């Protein structure tokens, strides 16, 4: 149901109804990491902890792999996955750098220089030409 215009924005996933339904349990797992008790249980045995949430095997694997983009593709939302990042001691900027495939240094420099410009980043066609 996502709208065509949004689909054309490169490197961006709209958290719409479809994603929300797909990612419900993945996101609710992330939500559970708001309590220290749960964070400890997760750190103790990640695989065992994940079985508390009826997510797909693919979703669970993306968590174990800390594959931040894959989690979003499978219905994760950044405000939820950031709780997993926080549990790992990573900031929003740390995982942003990881999702862009950049080093932390290069990403930080890009931000200090004014960020990623909109020019060349509005349409998938611009990335394909890339």
Partner 1 sequence: MAELIAGVATSHVPAIGAAIDLGKTGEPYWQPLFQGFEPSKKWIAELKPDVVILVYNDHASAFSLEVIPTFALGCAAEFPPADEGWGARPVPVVKGHPELAWHMAQSLILDEFDMTIVNKMEVDHGLTVPLSLMFGQPAEWPVQVIPLCVNVVQYPPPTGHRCYMLGKAIRKAVESFDRNLRVVIFGTGGMSHQLQGPRAGLINRAFDTDFLDKFTTEPQSLVRLPHLDYVREAGSEGIEMVMWLIMRGALADDAKEVYRFYHVPASNTAVGHLILENPGLPQRRLAATHEITSRPDVDAHEEVVNHVVAQ
Report the residue from 57, 114, 128, 129 that binds partner 1 according to the rule CB under 8 A.
114
Cβ proximity to partner 1: between 60 and 84 the closer is: 84
| Interface characters, 74-103, with partner 1 (x: CB under 8 A) | ---xxxx-xxxxxx---xxxx-xx-xxx--
Distances, alpha carbon 10 to alpha carbons 13, 19, 115, 118, in Å: 8, 17, 16, 11
- Please report how close the Cβ of residue 125 comes to partner 1 at its closest, in angstroms: 13
Cβ proximity to partner 1: between 12 and 51 the closer is: 12
Q: Round to whole Å and give the CA distance between 115 and 100.
A: 12
Site for partner 1 in 2-61 (CB under 8 A): 3, 5-6, 9-17, 20, 24, 27-28, 30-31, 33-36, 39
Q: Round to whole Å and give the CA distance between 65 and 6.
A: 28
What residue has token string 């079985």? 51
Cβ proximity to partner 1: between 44 and 89 the closer is: 89
Report the residue from 44, 57, 115, 128 that binds partner 1 according to the rule CB under 8 A.
115
Contacts of 84 (CB under 8 A, 6+ apart): 30, 33, 63, 66
Q: Round to whole Å and give the CA distance between 74 and 62.
A: 9
């Amino acid at each position: 149901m996502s709208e065509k215009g949004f689909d054309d924005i490169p490197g961006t996933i709209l958290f719409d109804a479809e994603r929300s339904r797909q990612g419900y349990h993945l996101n609710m797992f992330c939500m559970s990491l708001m309590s220290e008790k749960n964070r400890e249980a997760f750190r103790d045995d990640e695989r065992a902890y994940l079985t508390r949430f009826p997510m797909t095997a693919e979703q669970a694997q993306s968590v174990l792999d800390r594959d931040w983009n894959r989690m979003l593709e499978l219905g994760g939302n950044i405000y939820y996955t950031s709780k997993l990042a926080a549990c790992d001691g990573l900031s929003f900027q740390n995982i942003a750098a990881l999702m862009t495939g950049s080093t932390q240094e290069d990403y930080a420099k890009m931000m200090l220089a004014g960020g990623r410009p909109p020019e060349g980043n509005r349409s998938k066609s611009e990335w394909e030409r890339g």
